[in-house]
Amino acid sequence: MKTCPNCGERLPDGVERCPNCHTEWNNPLEAPVRKGPNRKLLIGGGVLAAVVLIGVVAAFALGGGGRSPEKDFIRIQQELFTDRMLDGLEKGLDVLGSGKFDSDLTLYAWVDEPELNRLLENSALQLKIDLDRDRLILDGRMIFQGSPILSGALTYDKGQVGFCLPEVDERYYVADLSKASSDLTGMDIDLSKLALPEISGKQWRALAQTYLDLVHTAVTRDNVRLEQGQAMEFQLLGGGFTGDVYTFTPAAGDIEEMLVKLAGHLRTDKELRKLVIGLMVPQALEAAFGEEIFDGVDPEAELDRALVELADELEAEAASIGREVEDSGFTWTLAVEGRQARLIRIESYGEALVYERAGSEAGGVEEALFGDEGGLIEPFLRHSYVKDGSVSRGTVTVDAGYGGSMSMKYEIDESRKSPFGTPYGTYSYSYTPLDMAYSIQVADGVQGGTDHIMTIEDCGYLFDAPFDTLALTLNATEKGTAQMPDGPVVDITNYSQDELEALFETLGNKLAISMTMLMFQMMGAYA
């Protein structure tokens, strides 16, 4: 996505002429022939510059400072909301889209009942994970009072699956999943081609921005009104401010034209098709399961047909939707104070969704989102916070209906994050009217890694438990230590169904005996 070098209009890639000011920039002008200075031209140029300067000053004095209300209306809200959401989308998809996760996870527990807590001391569940798109190692173990009592591993590597239970059977059983599945189903299957799709957060963000920009074309200089120096009152936060008010009131034709543009782009958007197909990975699925997996349907052709049908329907309904928007009395009001958004009100059919924002991040921000049905206020969310650099402290309260509400108090440092991407700090949650409360603390682990500590109060009352406080600690390391099992390898690819059933029955019986012995061991320790 780029902007016009002349007027700043956002433009899709590949456009060489700005639809707003008609500037062309990819056609270089012929370099002028250098000549000696011409006094008449210099004088004329000076007069022209003076005239232009006077015109600019007059525009600022008489015409609202040379501002473009329709562009300000979009830009201010883009900076407040859209850019933040797109940032989160890009970062989240980049993490998920890498298909990689490498960490040791260890879960500990603590309760305020001494005898139970004695059992939990030096006891843990551990899971080591090494994931990389087309291979996976899961290595788990149960530790009781400092001693590993049960462990197991599950592996997958380009179509080969394996498992072991060392305390039950030292052998590492492996199978070519493709051949085993083919033998059982009679289908020619190649699972070695399967892999998690690669997802680019940057590409998906650019795609989302493209469609947002198309929606923004409904906002024009003819349907945005700017009123400066208006006194405004907050309905929910209380108090008020003096600022500029932008009111967007689209006509039916504005909405229709925007929807037609949207439909036209949907018909030919190669980037959208490429990204969606990338999620489906049809080539890998066909390689694994054969072309019959799609029952004779070409996924790319089917996607194209669906998008074209959507575009046709959108275009056919564009005029009707435009009339309905206009008839509903739709208005979108933005009130700003010194370029800071203070109030957004979206109204239709006499009902409104309202956002209010007061204060500053350094001194404290108050935000509220609520419904206004003919003067009847229905709060949805309130948020207050203070920000100092990367550190934020605040409270979020969400209305849960029927007189209930959920609240979260937090103090976090966004410059430090756990392997799960969670900012370091404390998060305290409460829910009324049940008086349920719990908290999560994210901090450096005592022995390395990051601790995620969830503490739940009043467990005896809430869950009829023999203790009141439960603390669960999940430690996650930045790098994992999962390794392939090292026991004797047994290939069970060619096992018959009877042989497989006999193997799993034997392993199941041994596992049941181990678990029974563990229960007796725990009961003896608790007695």
Boundaries of every domain in the chain? 100-195+389-526
Query: In sequence order, which residues have a C-beta less than 8 Å from that of residue 435 and are 6 or more positions away?
Result: 458
- Average of per-residue pLDDT across 112-138: 91
CA separation for the pair 11, 23 (Å, rounded):
12
pLDDT at 514 exceeding the cut of 90: no
Q: Range with the lowest mean pLDDT among 244-253, 347-356, 388-397, 492-501?
A: 492-501
pLDDT at 265 exceeding the cut of 90: yes
Please indicate whether residue 230 or residue 178 has the higher confidence score (pLDDT): 230
In tens, the pLDDT along 45-75 reads 443 333 333 333 333 333 344 459 999 999 9
pLDDT of residue 184: 64
- Average of per-residue pLDDT across 17-42: 48
pLDDT of residue 197: 79
pLDDT of residue 49: 37
Does residue 478 sit in helix, strand or coil? coil
For the ranges 9-18, 299-308, 319-328, the maximum mean pLDDT occurs at 319-328
pLDDT of residue 52: 34
pLDDT of residue 357: 96
Residue 350 to residues 321, 345, 373, 440: CA-CA distances in angstroms? 18, 12, 7, 42
pLDDT at 43 exceeding the cut of 50: no
Please indicate whether residue 341 or residue 194 has the higher confidence score (pLDDT): 341
pLDDT of residue 224: 97
- CA angle, 165 as apex, 162 and 171 as ends, to 5°? 65
pLDDT at 3 exceeding the cut of 60: yes
Q: What rounded mean pLDDT belongs to the chain? A: 84
Sign (positive/negative) of CA torsion 89, 369, 254, 225?
negative
Length in residues, the chain: 527
The pTM score is 0.74
Per-residue confidence at 285, pLDDT binned at 50, 70, 90?
Answer: low
Sign (positive/negative) of CA torsion 27, 31, 37, 40?
negative
pLDDT of residue 15: 61
Does residue 442 sit in helix, strand or coil? strand
- Using a pLDDT cut of 70, give the percent of the chain over it: 80
Per-residue confidence at 94, pLDDT binned at 50, 70, 90?
Answer: confident
Please indicate whether residue 291 or residue 137 has the higher confidence score (pLDDT): 137
Sign (positive/negative) of CA torsion 16, 17, 18, 21?
positive
In tens, the pLDDT along 351-406 reads 999 999 999 988 999 999 999 998 899 999 999 999 999 999 999 999 877 778 89
In tens, the pLDDT along 167-224 reads 889 999 999 887 877 776 666 666 777 777 788 899 999 999 999 999 999 999 999 9
Query: In sequence order, which residues have a C-beta less than 8 Å from that of residue 313 and are 6 or more positions away?
Result: none
pLDDT of residue 460: 74
pLDDT at 165 exceeding the cut of 50: yes
pLDDT at 522 exceeding the cut of 70: no
